Amino acid sequence: MGQSQKLLFVTDLDATFLDHSYSWAQAAPAILRLRNLGLPLVLNSSKTLAEMEDLAKSLDLDSPIVAENGGLLAIRKERPGDYAVQINGIARSEILQAAHELRCRLGYKFAGFDDWSDQELSERTGLSIPQAQRSRSRLATEPITWNDTEVHRLAFAEALSARGIRMLRGGRFWHLMGSADKADGTAAALKFYQDREPDVEWVLVALGDSANDTAMLEAADIAVVIPHADGPHITPYAPRVVHAPFPTSKGWNAAVLSILDEYC
């Protein structure tokens, strides 16, 4: 790697950096190598900032965090655990105002995290109360359950779209969010480092496993695809695509170490 060139790693979490027990233990050798080389690692997930802070702390990261599917960039301040938040999409307060106004005026039947208590969200999801509290601590997205007809859902989605709000299907919930995605969050993180070190040529390495990561991977110089133990693998189009040899954190570790061996 040239003197003016540095690697910037941006990673998805679930089933990419974290294994199915939410552990990153098998990625520890690569994390140590990144730390020793002084190379940044940016976490980029659909999780909330509150859900990601403990992980960033356990990794001893001072890098920005991309949360809520690229809806916000959180930049670490000098005091540990204190972040300055930049909303990349639409603020949750605006999303709630638009959705609730439509519900009140037109009678759409749905309910979301803002409507539920911590206890109710815990019962619906199986999260502990503290986990539910962190999951409800949203700044740029609102998960909902749709309890109405598909015809009404399409009309609701069209009305939201006119206000710049998307309605996307997730695993368990529909998600109301702005136009930002993980690629936008990645671009914001890259700009943070470009502004901080303008003489550096940053080589962006993105790691992900699912369709939700495709835009992020395709925005990278090197896209690392983490395979699933079963099921189809994603096929992003990037200048260079690397396929990790194993699923989850074990594959993440192997791929990162291989790239570091090549560049450093």
Question: How many Å apart are CA 223 and CA 88, to the nearest integer?
Answer: 23
- Catalytic residue annotation: 12
Residue listed under structure tokens 């503290």: 130
Residue listed under structure tokens 């140590």: 32
H or E element, residue 102: helix 92-106
Question: How many Å apart are CA 88 and CA 71, to the nearest integer?
Answer: 5
CB-side exposure of 238: number of CA atoms within 13 Å? 27
Listed in order, strand segments (DSSP E) in 64-127 are 65-67, 72-76, 83-87, 110-112
**Domains with residue ranges and CATH for the chain:** 5-88+181-263 (3.40.50.1000), 92-177 (3.30.980.20)
What tens digit of pLDDT does each residue of 46-93 get? 899 999 999 999 999 999 999 999 999 999 887 766 899 999 889 999
Each residue's pLDDT, cut to its tens digit, for the chain (264 residues) gives 655 899 999 999 999 999 999 899 999 999 999 999 999 999 999 899 999 999 999 999 999 999 999 999 999 887 766 899 999 889 999 999 999 999 999 999 999 999 999 999 999 988 899 999 999 999 999 999 999 999 999 999 999 999 999 998 876 899 999 999 999 999 999 999 999 999 999 999 999 999 889 999 999 999 999 999 887 789 999 999 999 999 999 999 999 999 999 999
Query: CB–CB of 206/190 below 8 Å?
Result: no
| SS3 call for 245 | coil
Question: How many Å apart are CA 176 and CA 173, to the nearest integer?
Answer: 10
CB count, 10 Å around CB of 111? 14
